[in-house]
């Protein structure tokens, strides 16, 4: 059992981190949560470890999002004024470009319904249709339909932002 | 010709279909230009989605070696085990404390069923206030007598702590009703004492002595917690019930009154399982006069009976009967 889990850790850890990163948008936090998921898996020895790992990861990400909302509200209450934004250090052009691209994808993902987003992220993490169906409560036959809609909407939302960005740059110049 | 639905092409490209379904789709696509175009468009969409999601990934992913995770788990389990031990010890201490508190504050309902010891007692032939034997608590001889309750004060549920702690086992300690007599319908006794029907007055020791003609029987040396009196239908000396609490927390009630009424009361006591007739036993705490009076006055309708009720074995009640004054 432990050997199976170790193999799962080696083959799935990165996918779990990516899955969590697209929910919490913090690389360090995503790694911490992913490690927490595998530590819990070692303690529980689940029957279907792969599905279990992603289910727990989704729950942890949800808890994290709630805690973040609470933290934000608390800070706002403490300061009595909007929280200050973190001012990033000047970064290399490459990094800036990457951040911009990522921000667009993030906004495009945010434009999806929670169910479409979940199905898309689970599919990208390598989950099969039956596993996705089991985790989301959808029928296996509905996974294909949901995935088709999610892919289309993600690309549409992203392209729309690209067009708006181009128009914005043109207006500035 | 049926074209292949969009979601089926997604599933086909995601390798989520059976082998036979894949063969069917591939056969159709090789012959249908529209479906081939649709398949290619979906494949492109799929690739774009994957590319976008790759952009939304951390630039570096660090992972701990697997054995380190096992160490984290072991450390966590060890910590949890320690906490469990602490919690277990704390709950044990709490449970013991609670049990001790409950046993000290309450008379358990699960005690043995009530047994009753009865004996005919003398009528109030001598109710003279000059008779020192009938004076409560103030007799030097009585105050010297060591009671079975020992020196440990016992508190009752609902009884004021300070009052209970100041109990002198050799002195009757009747809760003072603040000058006013409390009326109760008998079945409101929350101290574990037997339930008595009818309208009873909870009175102070002095008032009880006055009402009963200065003779209120009780077990010597046991703190008195309550005195109740009830008028008899034919007038005369009332029925008295003196409730006393033993060091063990058990409550005994000494009932004295007309034989018929006492018998009627005893017949209604729940859990009454033993009755000890003490006619043949001498009343140690009483005098020869009292004993002879009781025997001599045991006429129908005029006799009075003394009974001790408590959730104790009959032998214990008989022993208490010998200490009745």
Tell me the pLDDT of chain B (325 aa) as tens digits. Answer: 689 999 999 999 999 999 999 999 999 999 999 999 999 999 999 999 999 999 999 888 888 888 888 888 888 888 888 888 899 999 999 999 998 888 888 755 554 545 555 555 555 444 444 444 434 433 333 434 343 333 333 333 333 343 333 334 444 444 444 433 444 434 434 445 556 667 788 888 777 777 776 678 888 888 888 888 888 777 777 888 888 888 888 888 888 888 888 888 777 765 443 344 434 333 333 333 333 333 333 334 457 788 888 877 777 777 777 777 6
Q: Please answer whether residues B114 and B310 qualify as being in contact, where contact means their C-beta atoms are separated by less than 8 angstroms.
A: yes
Per-residue model confidence (pLDDT) at position B109: 54
Q: Where are the alpha helices (DSSP H) in chain A?
A: 2-24, 27-44, 49-79, 93-110, 114-124, 129-136, 140-172
Q: Is B285 helix (H, G, I), strand (E, B) or coil?
A: coil
| CATH architecture designation of domain A1-87 | Orthogonal Bundle (1.10)
Q: For B82, left (φ over 0), alpha (ψ -120 to 50), or beta?
A: alpha
Q: How far is A8 from chain B (nearest CA, A)?
A: 10
With a CB cutoff of 8 Å and minimum separation 6, the contacts of A71 are none
Partner-chain residue, chosen from B53, B62, B63, that has the shortest CB–CB distance to A124: B53
Cβ pair B53, A22 in contact under 8 A: yes
- What CATH number matches the domain at A91-173, 1.10.10.10, 2.60.120.650, 3.40.50.150, 3.20.20.140? 1.10.10.10
Name the residue among A10, A38, A19, A9 with its Cα closest to residue A126: A19
Pick the closest to residue B120 from B300, B310, B311 (CA basis). B300
* DSSP symbols for B179-247: TSPEEE-STT--SSPPP--S-EEEE-HHHHHHHTTS----BTTS-EEEEEEE--TT-SSPEEEEEEE-T
Task: Measure B179 CA to nearest chain A CA, in Å.
Answer: 59
Cβ contacts from A onto B, under 8 A: 98
Tell me, what's the ipTM?
Answer: 0.82
- What CA–CA distance (Å, rounded) separates B57 from A3? 28
If you ran DSSP here, which 8-state letter would residue B1 be given? Answer: -
Pick from B52, B59, B61: CB nearest A154 = B52
Q: Is the pTM of this model over 0.80?
A: no
* 8 Å CB contact of B16 and A38: no
Q: Which residue, among A151, A154, A161, A162, would best test binding to B if mutated, counting the most B CBs under 10 Å from its CB? A: A151
Residues of chain A in contact with residue B22, where contact means CB-CB under 8 angstroms, are none
Query: A80 CA to chain B: closest CA distance, Å?
Result: 33
Binding-site residues on chain A for chain B (CB distance < 8 A): 6, 9-10, 13-14, 17-18, 21-22, 27, 30-31, 35, 38-39, 42-43, 98, 101-102, 105-106, 108-109, 120-121, 123-124, 128-129, 143-145, 147-148, 151-152, 154-155, 158
Q: Which of B66, B68, B70 would best serve as a mutation to test chain A binding (most A beta carbons within 10 A)?
A: B66
Query: Which chain B residues are within 8 Å of A162, Cβ to Cβ?
Result: none
User: Measured between alpha carbons, how far is A17 from A26 in angstroms, rounded to an integer?
Assistant: 10
Residues forming CATH 1.10.1740 domain(s) in chain A = 1-87
Q: Do A35 and B64 touch (CB under 8 A)?
A: yes
- Nearest one of B213, B250, B132, B224 to B171, comparing CA atoms: B224
- Residue-range domain boundaries for chain B: 6-55, 70-105, 113-321
pLDDT under 50: residue ranges of chain A? 1, 80-88
Decide: A150 and B46 in contact? Cβ < 8 Å. no
Query: How far off is chain A from B55, nearest CA to CA, in Å?
Result: 6
CB of B81 within 8 Å of any CB in chain A?
A: no
Rounded distance between C-alpha atoms, residue A12 and residue A48, angstroms: 13
> B275: part of which helix (H) or strand (E)?
strand B274-277
Q: What does the alpha-carbon distance between residue A154 and residue B63 come to, in Å, rounded to a whole number? A: 30
Bridge-partner residues for B15, per DSSP? Answer: none
pLDDT at A120: 96
């Amino acid at each position: 059992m432990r050997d199976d889990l170790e193999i799962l850790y080696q083959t799935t850890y990165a996918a779990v981190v990516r899955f969590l990163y697209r929910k919490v948008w913090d690389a360090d936090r995503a790694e911490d949560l992913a490690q927490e998921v595998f530590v819990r898996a070692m303690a529980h020895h689940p029957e279907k470890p792969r599905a279990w790992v992603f289910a727990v990861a989704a729950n942890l990400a949800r808890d994290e999002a709630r805690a973040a909302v609470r933290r934000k509200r608390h800070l706002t209450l403490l300061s009595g004024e909007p929280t200050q934004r973190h001012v990033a250090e000047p970064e290399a052009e490459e990094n800036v470009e990457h951040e911009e691209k990522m921000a667009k994808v993030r906004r495009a993902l945010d434009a999806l319904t929670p169910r479409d987003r979940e199905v898309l992220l689970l599919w990208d993490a390598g989950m099969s249709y039956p596993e996705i169906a089991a985790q989301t409560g959808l029928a296996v036959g509905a996974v294909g339909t949901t995935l088709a809609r999610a892919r289309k909407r993600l690309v549409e939302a992203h392209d729309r932002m690209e067009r708006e960005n181009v128009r914005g740059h043109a207006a500035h110049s | 010709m049926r074209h292949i639905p969009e979601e089926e092409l997604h599933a086909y490209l995601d390798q989520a279909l059976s082998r036979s379904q894949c063969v069917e789709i591939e056969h159709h696509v090789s012959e249908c230009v529209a479906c081939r175009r649709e398949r290619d468009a979906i494949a492109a969409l799929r690739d774009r989605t994957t590319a976008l999601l790759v952009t939304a990934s951390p630039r570096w992913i660090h992972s701990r070696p697997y054995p380190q995770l096992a160490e984290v788990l072991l450390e966590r389990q060890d910590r949890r085990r320690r906490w469990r031990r602490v919690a277990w010890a704390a709950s044990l201490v709490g449970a013991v404390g609670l049990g001790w508190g409950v046993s000290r504050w309450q008379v358990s309902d699960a005690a043995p069923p009530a047994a009753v010891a009865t004996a005919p007692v003398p009528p109030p032939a001598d109710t003279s206030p000059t008779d020192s034997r009938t004076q409560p608590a103030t007799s030097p001889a009585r105050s010297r007598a060591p009671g079975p309750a020992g020196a440990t004060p016992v508190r009752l549920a609902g009884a004021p702590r300070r009052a209970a702690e100041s109990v002198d086992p050799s002195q009757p300690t009747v809760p003072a009703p603040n000058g006013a007599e409390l009326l109760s319908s008998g079945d409101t006794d929350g101290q574990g004492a037997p339930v008595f029907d009818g309208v009873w007055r909870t009175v102070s020791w002095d008032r009880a002595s006055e009402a009963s003609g200065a003779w209120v029987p009780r077990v010597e040396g046991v703190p008195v917690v309550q005195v109740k009196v009830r008028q008899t239908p034919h007038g005369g000396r009332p029925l008295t019930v003196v409730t006393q609490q033993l060091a063990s927390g058990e409550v005994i009630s000494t009932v004295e009154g007309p034989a018929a009424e006492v018998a009627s009361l005893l017949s209604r006591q729940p859990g009454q399982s033993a009755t000890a007739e003490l006619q043949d036993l001498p009343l140690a705490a009483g005098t020869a006069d009292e004993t002879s009076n009781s025997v001599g006055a045991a006429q129908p309708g005029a006799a009075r009976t003394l009974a001790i009720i408590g959730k104790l074995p009959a032998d214990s009640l008989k022993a208490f009967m010998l200490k009745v004054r």
